[in-house]
Amino acid sequence: MVKVLKCSYCGEEIPPGTGTTFVKNDGSIFQFCTPKCRKMKLKFKKPARKVRWTKYFGQK
């Protein structure tokens, strides 16, 4: 049984074998379902709750 991962940005489930993992210098691990999510988090640093297509949109 494969553990289902959730995207660190949008909150969607990541099918096994897809997505990317990113480890920050401080050791924290991020999983991303698509390069788009990766870019939004790491490059644009946009809070997921302000992005309409994430599951966290509108949350506090």
Q: Which residues bind Zn ion (CB under 5 A)?
A: 7, 9-10, 33, 37
How large is the greatest C-alpha to C-alpha distance in the chain, in angstroms? 35
Q: Name the minimum Å distance from CB 44 to Zn ion.
A: 14
Q: Closer to Zn ion by CB, 27 or 34: give it.
A: 34
The CB-nearest residue to Zn ion is 7
What is the smallest separation between the CB atom of 23 and Zn ion, expressed in angstroms?
A: 17
Alpha helices in the chain (DSSP H): 35-42
Query: Which among 8, 49, 46 is positioned nearest to 30, based on CA atoms?
Result: 8
